[in-house]
């Protein structure tokens, strides 16, 4: 009997080690479900559900509050992805019950980098900040409690000032870094291979920042459950990135940088920055150097525009004749502002 129990214990420990992700408790602004559970109901912590209101109402972590729309279009501008200004952040965080003495936990759906990247509360001075590894689905998979009642936040006063300037690098600073060919700098482009090579372009000037290497945004994430890979796996992924380098991570508009940034911080890289403006800004300015530069060709869209104009004209004629056009009106969800691509 004793041997049987020992054997079962060994198997249990082995399974736990096999399933263990890179996150243990709270590391580099990323936390696990056990840590979140320990803070639920704690007056010194605010849990923000970063999903749209309809998902929040279907079920959320007990005590979590919600903006009523995706956090990526609340704490970031929905078009160019820039984080909101300090006064706006002070207002938005204060409305959620955040003050400067509280910690903030943010979570979304599984592997939603739009939520993972929302580190502006940390940038502007919350006491502690963490993103829930694996999102709401991982919380549920672990059998943690879920509630459906809408929690009304208790407004607080949040003083927003730049406390962690090392988190972001500005466009002007990055221009200087690139033009000076500053040594000991690694630029990581986490967009798609097509964007990196300039064969897919949604920018005025497409291509990549000179000297950048390509490492896809989802490399550090387990495809099955959206959690971070183990530290051993992360070390293997980033083994060619010197630890003493300044590492700058960028994508289209800042969102896809989150997992690479957090992975490097978990591995102990001390000088990691996010180029928060992203290629949306870099590709729109005339003073930024670009490799594999290609410009938007509008001819490809002319035929589509002509077809749409024709269909609109036909619809107007049908309406004039009192004929109801086929198809239903868009739902509120479909008509809502959409994220303009990350």
Question: To 5 degrees, how large is the angle CA 37–CA 51–CA 79?
Answer: 140
Domain end, chosen from 120, 146, 163, is at: 163
Contact residues for 125 (Cβ-Cβ < 8 A; gap 6+)? 100, 158, 159, 160, 161, 162, 163, 164
Q: Check whether residue 227 and residue 104 sit in a common domain.
A: no
List C-alpha distances in Å: 42 to 29, 35, 36, 63, 219: 18, 12, 10, 9, 34
Give Cα separations from 212 to 183, 185, 189, 291 (angstroms).
13, 10, 6, 9
Residue 325 lies in a domain: no
Q: Indicate if 137 and 189 belong to the same structural domain.
A: no
The strand ranges marked E within the chain are: 26-27, 30-31, 45-49, 65-66, 103-107, 128-132, 185-189, 205-208, 213-214, 246-250, 272-274, 291-295
User: 133 and 21 in contact (C-beta within 8 Å)?
Assistant: yes
pLDDT reported for residue 9: 36
- Residues 121, 187, single domain; the answer is no
CA atoms within 13 A on the CB side of 280: 18
- State the residue for tokens 């390509």: 214
Residue 337 lies in a domain: no
Point out the domain boundary residue: 132, 163, 194.
163
Establish if 334 belongs to a structural domain.
Answer: no
- Pair 88, 123 in one domain: yes
Q: Which helix (H) or strand (E) segment is 128 a member of?
A: strand 128-132
Same domain, 179 and 157: no
Any domain includes 90 = yes
**Per-residue pLDDT at 80:** 86
Same domain, 152 and 185: no
137 lies in the same domain as 175: no
* Rounded mean pLDDT for each run of 10 residues along the chain, 342 residues in total: 38 36 74 96 97 97 97 91 95 97 96 93 96 97 97 97 96 96 95 92 90 97 95 97 97 94 96 96 95 81 84 87 67 47 68
Residues 104 and 189 in one domain: no
Beta bridge partners of 132: 31
Does 319 map to a domain? Answer: no
Q: Are residues 144 and 191 in the same domain?
A: no
CA 281 to CA 284: how far, in whole Å?
Answer: 5
Q: For position 198, which CATH number holds? A: 3.40.250.10
| d(C-alpha 222, C-alpha 129), whole Å | 23
Mark whether 49 and 158 lie in a shared domain.
yes
d(CA 108, CA 55): 10
> How much is the pLDDT for 56?
98
What pLDDT is recorded for position 16?
35
- Residue 327 is assigned to a structural domain of this protein: no
Same domain, yes or no, for 131 and 66? yes
Write out the residue range of the structural domain in which residue 239 sits: 168-295
Tell me the two tokens of residue 121: 């509360």
Q: Which of 130, 163, 196 is the last residue of a domain?
A: 163
Within-domain flag for 324: no
Residue 281 lies in a domain: yes
Looking at the fold, whether 103 and 122 belong to one and the same domain comes out as yes
Select from 123, 122, 95, 118 the least CA-distant residue to 107: 118
pLDDT at site 51: 97
Q: What is the domain count for the chain? A: 2
């Amino acid at each position: 009997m004793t041997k049987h129990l020992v054997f079962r214990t060994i198997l249990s420990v082995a399974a736990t080690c096999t399933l263990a992700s890179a996150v243990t408790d709270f590391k580099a602004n990323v936390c696990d479900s056990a840590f979140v559970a320990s803070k639920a109901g704690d007056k010194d912590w605010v849990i923000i559900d970063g999903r749209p209101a309809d998902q929040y109402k279907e079920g959320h972590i007990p005590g979590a509050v919600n903006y009523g729309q995706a956090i990526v279009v609340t704490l970031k501008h929905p078009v160019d992805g820039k984080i909101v200004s300090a006064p706006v952040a002070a207002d938005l965080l204060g409305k959620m019950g955040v003050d400067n003495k509280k910690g903030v936990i943010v979570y979304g759906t599984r592997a939603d980098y739009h939520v993972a990247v929302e580190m502006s509360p940390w940038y502007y001075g919350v006491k502690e900040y963490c993103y829930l590894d694996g999102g709401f689905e991982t919380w549920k998979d672990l059998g943690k409690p879920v509630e459906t009642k809408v929690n009304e936040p208790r407004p607080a006063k949040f003083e927003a000032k730049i406390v962690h300037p090392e988190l972001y690098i500005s466009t002007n600073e990055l221009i200087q870094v690139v033009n000076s060919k500053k040594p000991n700098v690694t630029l990581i482009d986490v967009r798609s291979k097509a964007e990196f090579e300039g064969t897919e372009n949604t920018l005025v000037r497409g291509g990549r920042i000179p000297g950048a290497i390509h490492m896809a945004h989802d490399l550090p994430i387990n495809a099955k459950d959206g959690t971070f890979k183990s530290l051993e796996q992360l070390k293997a992924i980033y083994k060619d990135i010197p630890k003493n380098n300044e590492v700058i991570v960028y994508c289209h508009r800042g969102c896809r940088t989150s997992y690479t940034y957090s992975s490097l911080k978990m591995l102990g890289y001390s000088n990691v920055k996010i180029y928060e403006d992203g290629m949306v800004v870099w590709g729109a300015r005339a003073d930024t150097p670009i490799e594999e530069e290609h410009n938007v060709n509008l001819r490809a869209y002319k035929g589509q525009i002509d077809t749409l104009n024709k269909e609109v004209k036909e619809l107007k004629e049908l309406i004039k004749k009192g004929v109801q056009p086929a198809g239903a009106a868009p739902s509120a969800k479909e008509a809502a502002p959409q994220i303009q691509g990350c």
